Structure 1
Amino acid sequence: MTRETKISEITKEAENISTETYFDTQIVKFKKNDMFYYIAFKGRSTRPSYYYFLSEPNREESLNITKARIKSNHEKKVKYLENKKIESDLISVGTILYSSWGYEQTNINFYIVLNRKNTVVTIQEIGKHKEFEGRDYGTCTPNINNKIGEPFQKRITKHASIKINEVEDASKYDGSKIHWSSWY
């Protein structure tokens, strides 16, 4: 069911229907059966959040609180993406990336950036120096002298990471030792 169909269904037999877009949220206000409503659709959602009140002033007060929350979340998202853009810009030739992935164990892979053009990077997997803290766990650091496989191209995401495959996302390595485990 589309959002428009949902709105038509909900506001059937309603009066004083008004719609506004506030950042990434569509808000529909209306009066139905002597109750004052507003519904909010966040992003591309087709499922709204419902709110109803006995009086119009109560609805407006609640709507103002909701709008403040929407604005705050939007500002946090914008700031997060701005920071990630700065991080993304720091990924350049020679940057070491790492990924941490696995189920019931933690696998670590390292990559080196060989080339960058806009948001496309050519990377190559590199080896790691493992330190054992136990039989099947420890820490590791990259070994740039051990190239693994062939270089390949990937795109830097808006989250300053690189999607290697379905289970693996690589991000900028900070130079610290990274914990790994292998239970099998």
Structure 2
Amino acid sequence: MSDVIERISEAQTVFNRALGVDAKEALSAFKAKLNEKQRNTFNSLNKKRMACTLLESNDLYAFFAEFKGVAYLYPSNKKVGAWAACGFTGNRSKPDFRYWFDTKEQATAYIEKWAVLQIQKEIDKKQKKAEKKALASKLKQLVSIGDVFVASWGWEQTNIEYFKVVGFSGECTLKLVSIGSHRKEEAQAMCGTKTPDVNREIGEVFTKRAEVQENCMRNGELDVLISFSSYRVAKLKRKLEDGSYSPDDYTSYA
């Protein structure tokens, strides 16, 4: 709960800081840091935005470098005394919102709510990225050459695959090779158990990026995963106390 409050407070501080700077000057300073290609792309995007909403440059209310956000505030032509607000984020050419309000205070309050939420999202992204990087740094503490990963997947049948670590390639990438298995069929047809055969390598060595994750179901214990697809993910297989591996259940209809 305290982390949430801190992020909201940080987002509010960033918003207040942005309002304390002239919006046009802030936007110019941001564009000055871009290279020519990036600047041309940004200017082209801005032209599309202005054309699609019929805005004027003088309507610019605030610029937020954190999420490349711009907010516009201008008198509404719908009703005397009313105000309109419009906002864009990132590389979107269409507005996140474009609403009319009875008062200027209502319009600015909406802009604040929208901007603080976007800033919070960016803060969360940076925090998750930092946490992911910190976890990734532990990969070589968790995985050694010779370790085995197991993938259990399938719909009408349960396929079991094993992969052995034969090296490292960078901080987060493993060199792997498929390995065979010792198979034990049960009395019931087309099912049984498998255990990895670390001495039988199959095919060529390949590389895969590994990800370290906290397992919330086991008090934050760290798991190491390798993703081949959305449904086919291999997990580091832990050895038993005697150095062997527990069996994995499989089924087959072929």
- In the superposition, the TM-score normalised over structure 1's length comes to 0.68
Aligned residue number for residue 74 of structure 1: 126
Contact 1:52/1:59 (<8 A) preserved = no
Q: 1:58 aligns with which of 88, 107, 110?
A: 110
Aligned residue number for residue 172 of structure 1: 236
Larger strand share, 1 or 2: 1
Change (3 A) 1:122 1:58: closer
Amino acid at match of 1:35: A
Instruction: Confirm or deny that 1:109 pairs with 2:151.
Output: no
Helix, strand or coil: the match of 1:11? helix
Helix, strand or coil: the match of 1:180? strand
Q: 1:36 aligns with which of 79, 82, 85?
A: 85
Helix, strand or coil: the match of 2:138? helix
The one-character-per-residue Cα deviations of 1:134-160 (angstroms, maximum 9, x if unpaired) are 534454332223x13244131435666
Contact 1:3/1:47 (<8 A) preserved = no
In structure 1, how many angstroms separate the alpha carbons of the residues matched to 2:209 and 2:48?
42
Count residues in correspondence: 177
Instruction: Provide the alpha-carbon RMSD of the alignment.
Output: 3.7
The one-character-per-residue Cα deviations of 1:98-119 (angstroms, maximum 9, x if unpaired) are 2334454332211212233535
The one-character-per-residue Cα deviations of 1:152-184 (angstroms, maximum 9, x if unpaired) are 131435666556699855442234554433344
Larger helix share, 1 or 2: 2
Contact 2:211/2:226 (<8 A) preserved = no
Unaligned residue ranges in structure 2 (runs of 5+): 1-40, 77-82, 102-106, 213-223, 240-245
- In the superposition, the TM-score normalised over structure 2's length comes to 0.53
Change (3 A) 1:83 1:48: farther
In structure 1, how many angstroms separate the alpha carbons of the residues matched to 2:95 and 2:247?
45
Unaligned residue ranges in structure 1 (runs of 5+): none
In structure 2, how many angstroms separate the alpha carbons of the residues matched to 1:39 and 1:60?
13
Helix, strand or coil: the match of 1:36? strand
Contact 1:131/1:139 (<8 A) preserved = yes
Q: Which has the higher contact order (CA 8 A, sep 6+)?
A: 1
